[in-house]
Amino acid sequence: MATRNTWRTWRAGVFLAALTPLVVWGWQVANNAAGPEPGRYLLLNIGTGALWMLLLTLSLTPLTRLTRWKGFTLIRRQLGLWTLAYATLHMLSYALFILGLDWAMLGSELVKRPYIIVGMLALIGLAALGATSNRWSMRRLGKRWKTLHRLAYPILGLILLHFLWVVRADLGEWVMYAAIAALVMATRLPPVARTLPRIRYRLAGT
Amino acid sequence: MLIKIARPGDLHESDVTPESIYLSRRRFMGGMAGLGAGLALAGQAHASADYSDVPAGDAPGWLQEKIDATRWQAVTPSDPEKDKLAPFDDASGYNNFYEFGSGKSDPARHAGSLETQPWSVVVDGEVNNGGRIGLEDLARPSQFEERIYRLRCVEAWSMVIPWLGIPLAEVIKRAEPTSKARYVRFETLVDPEQMPGQRSSFSLIDWPYVEGLRLDEAMHPLTLLALGMYGRELPNQNGAPLRLVVPWKYGFKSIKSIVRISLVAEQPVNSWQQIAPDEYGFYANVNPQVDHPRWSQATERRLPNSLFSPNTIDTQMFNGYADDVAELYAGLDLRVNY
């Protein structure tokens, strides 16, 4: 049986793993290994990182159904908050490294570029989920908390749309993420969700 | 009944006479002296810039001979302080060449597989002297020149790059265009075995990559067929062994790894126009007043930049070559013909 300490180590390990990409990218930029446009390098990598974090977060529920391993549930809030952290850093990279804090330009970009509006909507949604990711909010919101946190699904859709609108010539990478997202969402369809524990029994039986 | 009202930019029946060739040729005869104040011109006295930190190439003997005899710094920026050369590693390691992938570092990673020797180009269409011509025969009659140009990508970044090559006008003249020739159409190599981007099932580009110029644009003395850069032959990822460079147009017009040059009567449909006609037009002249639907073209990030200084500068009309090329577009509505 896993002890309290084991779970603490597991959570710390997940924390370090989620932090690692940021450290690596930062190290590359500091050592001129991120190409001639380091700001854009960070922007794109951190943005893709945010999508990964959300996909991982949404994988935890079906993984728990499949395995009943407690460890997945224990990192759900953490990964959700990592999604928010990556998305926030993505937006800050855009403001700092691309716009150069030219707020007048941000104003005109927001009005003219739908993909930026869509990205901002997704970030606002993530912020709302992050702000309510605590026991107090869960108690206060009661049943509505779960409904509110289902916002993660439309947020995933917004992020994919944001990504689709910046593709120029090859949809290959986007299609890969969209396929993973479709798979993660499909596991929530009631017939599929019911099947997952059955797969677990079958695996356990062999 | 079809009523056709000519727009000011439309060409008339009378334009079918090769007047544009005639005018371009005269401008060409005027030589590089015809280039405007935006460019400082230098004679042969100039030596090559210091490219000692550029990795040596592997040019075939005939090409190395041509490179050695280059007229160095034939065209240079008027303000070399403002337009500093991009480091070779950036110009060769960070670019778009969708045949080798859609990421900026994909071309450098994947283009090593491209076989550029031997290479030949088909010159066909409305010409009296067409056919398949070996790269050496295509390039040998012309003097190599070094042209230091600003390159403005449609994605709003730019670099300053020293190209080596020959004026496209000379190649076209040798092909002897007929009076029907009005446009020039270019094609890139199609070879999925060598070009992984062409194997992608999700590519929006219908290969081959196609580009085009109006004949007078093609005959303009600034329009270059490049075979080298930074004092050596072109790296594969930059469009070896033969690419176009049209400095007053967005980078995607400067088609790479050319295998076919056709003189044609009708305006060609270039690849980007085919994918997204509302975003990319035939002309694609650099124009800070006409935005891309998804981003502003008013400014550009001059690369290399650093994290806290995006190095954002104002984009210039025709990429700063207005004095030389603006007259080509007199009467043309550039907002419609983007």
For the residues B293-313, what does the mean pLDDT come to?
A: 90
Q: What is the pLDDT of residues A86-142, one digit of tens each?
A: 999 999 999 998 888 878 777 877 777 889 999 999 999 999 999 999 999 999 999
- Verify whether the Cβ–Cβ distance A113 to B295 is below 8 Å: yes
User: In 3D, which of B164, B194, B195, B138 has the Cα closest to residue B54?
Assistant: B164
* Least-confidence region, from A1-15, A72-86, B21-35, B42-56: B21-35
Residue A105, pLDDT score: 76
Question: What pLDDT was estimated at residue A206?
Answer: 56
Separation of alpha carbons B15 and B180, rounded Å: 10
Q: What is the reported pLDDT for B73? A: 96
Cα distance from B291 to chain A (closest Cα, Å)?
Answer: 10
Tokens standing for A95? Answer: 């403001």
Identify the CA nearest to B203 among candidates B274, B282, B101. Answer: B101
Q: pLDDT tens across B222-277, in order?
A: 999 999 999 999 999 999 999 999 999 999 999 999 999 999 999 999 999 999 99
- pLDDT of amino acid B236: 98
Q: For chain B, which residues make up each domain, given as ranges?
A: 13-329
Q: Is the pLDDT of residue B8 over 60?
A: no
pLDDT of res. A139:
94
- To the nearest whole Å, the CA of B130 is away from the closest chain A CA by 33
User: Considering only CB atoms, which residues of chain A are within 8 Å of chain B?
Assistant: 29, 35-39, 42, 96-100, 102, 105, 108-109, 112-113, 115, 165-166, 168-175
Nearest to B139 by CA among B226, B232, B251, B36: B226
| CB nearest to A172's CB, from B105, B155, B202 | B202
pLDDT > 90 in chain B, percent = 80
Per-residue pLDDT at B288 exceeds 50: yes
For residue B46, what pLDDT band results from cuts at 50, 70 and 90? low
Find out if CATH 3.40.1360.10 is the number for domain B13-329: no
- Mean pLDDT, range B310-323, rounded to an integer: 96
Q: Which residues are B164's β-sheet partners?
A: B146, B228
How many cross-chain Cβ pairs, A to B, lie less than 8 Å apart?
A: 81
Gap between the Cα atoms of A106 and A112, Å rounded: 10
Contact yes or no for A169 and B87 at CB 8 A: no
Q: Taking a C-beta distance cutoff of 8 angstroms, is the pair B15, B265 a contact?
A: no
Write out the residues of chain B at the interface with chain A, using a CB-CB cutoff of 8 A.
Answer: 86-87, 90, 93-94, 98, 101-102, 104-105, 155, 157, 159, 197, 200-205, 275, 291, 294-296, 301, 303-310, 312
Please report where in the chains the tokens 């230098």 appear, as a residue. B42
How near does any CA of chain A get to the CA of B206, in Å?
10
Q: Which of B208, B12, B40, B49 is nearest to B122 (CA)?
A: B208
Q: How many CB atoms lie under 10 A from the CB of residue B67?
A: 19
**Of the candidates B102, B202, B303, which has its C-beta nearest A36's C-beta?**
B303
Cβ contact B228:B240 at 8 Å: no
- Tell me the shortest Cα–Cα distance from B87 to chain A, in angstroms: 9
Which residue in B90, B275, B301 is closest to A169 by CB distance? B275
Give dist(CA B318, CA A178) in Å, integer: 39
Are the Cβ atoms of B200 and A29 closer than 8 angstroms? no
Give the pLDDT of residue B28: 47
| Neighboring chain A residues of B288 at a CB cutoff of 8 Å | none
Strand partners, B309: B306
Give the per-residue pLDDT at A2.
67
pLDDT at B40: 46
* Of the listed ranges B43-52, B206-215, B250-259, the one predicted with least confidence: B43-52
Bridge pairing between strands B183-188 and B210-214: antiparallel
Residues of B in contact with A163 (CB under 8 A): none
Alpha-helical runs (H) found in B203-284: 215-218, 271-275
CA dist B273 to A14, A38, A60, A148, A151, Å?
46, 30, 44, 43, 38
Residues of chain A in contact with residue B105, where contact means CB-CB under 8 angstroms, are 35
Residue A36 to residue B301, Cβ atoms within 8 A: no
What pLDDT shows up at residue A129?
97
Residues in chain B with CB shorter than 8 Å from the CB of A33 are: none
Nearest neighbour of A171 by CB, restricted to B94, B105, B202? B202
Instruction: Specify the length of chain A in residues.
Output: 206
Question: For residue B1, is pLDDT > 60?
Answer: no
pLDDT at B268: 98
B84-138: pLDDT as tens digits: 999 999 999 999 999 999 999 999 999 998 999 999 999 999 999 999 999 999 9
Contact A115 B294 (CB under 8 A): yes
Q: Which residues of chain A have pLDDT under 70?
A: 1-2, 205-206
Asked whether the predicted pLDDT for residue B51 surpasses 50, the reply is yes
Which of B307, B308, B312 would best serve as a mutation to test chain A binding (most A beta carbons within 10 A)? B307
Quick check: B105 and A35 CB within 8 A?
yes
* A35 to B301: CB separation less than 8 angstroms, yes or no: no
- Given phi > 0 = left and psi -120 to 50 = alpha, else beta, which region is B230? left
Residue B154 pLDDT greater than 70, yes or no: yes
